[in-house]
């Protein structure tokens, strides 16, 4: 089990004041990592960090910066490494959703969604990878989606952004793998989060999902933790450019 031990490692998780990011941060902390929570709202981050500390996790830090602003990212990563230490694990989790028929999808929403879901992964990934490359080691975990493979009505731009994450993950592994880095992605299925609350509350959708998914239910955020710890640890030392679907089987069947 020492293969999965993250003691002494520093993990930065973007978009981690709530939802999947917060759940993954908790899981990495439970595995021994010193976790840095990231988001734009410092007050919300402080509350999230206090929640983890109350839950028994120690060494929780925060770093408030906008992952869609390359200048803020550069300054933020420099500040984290100077104050907390070298980042061993990066989880690119920050993301957003906006639903509308594609023919009516607002152009400004397209730009906002791509900045948040795709550009941020490049900005933060590049800034952290430059430092990891110099050290000859590092783990980057991007958060993809079942929409990296599948489409649903009303979310074509989101699916496009997550399809790009799948390919960016492979590109990162191709370029940075020779320098000792492992870059992989977790692709969640349908999980009970604030992002999906409208769908969770919709009985028609929940019934459809139960019939469509072999597991016959929504996922719980804690069920993503094992995948994150695996990809963040020495257990995955020869896994690179892989997209790990944690989806109850929804991508395996028609």
Active-site positions read: 158
Burial of 22 (0-12, 13-18, 19+ CB in 10 A): buried
């Amino acid at each position: 089990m020492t293969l999965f031990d993250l003691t002494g490692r520093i993990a930065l998780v973007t978009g981690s004041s709530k939802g999947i990011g917060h759940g993954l941060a908790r899981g990495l902390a439970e595995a021994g990592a010193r976790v840095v929570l990231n988001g734009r709202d410092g007050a919300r981050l402080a509350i999230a960090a206090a929640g983890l500390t109350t839950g028994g996790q120690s060494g929780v830090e925060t770093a408030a910066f906008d992952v869609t602003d390359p200048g803020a990212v550069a300054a933020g990563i420099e500040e984290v490494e100077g104050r907390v230490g070298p980042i061993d694990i990066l989880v690119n989790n920050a993301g957003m959703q906006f639903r509308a028929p594609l023919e009516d999808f607002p152009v400004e929403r397209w730009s906002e969604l791509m900045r948040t879901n795709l550009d941020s992964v490049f900005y933060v990934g590049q800034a952290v990878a430059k430092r990891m490359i110099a050290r000859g080691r590092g783990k980057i975990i991007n958060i993809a989606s079942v929409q990296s493979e599948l489409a649903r009505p009303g979310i074509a731009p989101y699916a496009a952004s997550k399809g790009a994450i799948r390919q960016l993950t492979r590109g990162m592994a191709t370029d940075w793998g020779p320098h000792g880095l492992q870059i992989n992605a977790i692709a969640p299925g349908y999980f009970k989060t604030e992002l999906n609350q409208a769908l969770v509350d919709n009985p028609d959708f929940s019934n459809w999902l139960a019939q469509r998914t072999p597991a016959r239910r929504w996922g719980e955020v804690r069920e993503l933790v094992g995948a994150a710890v695996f990809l963040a640890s020495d257990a995955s030392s020869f896994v690179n450019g892989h997209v790990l679907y944690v989806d109850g089987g929804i991508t395996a069947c028609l």
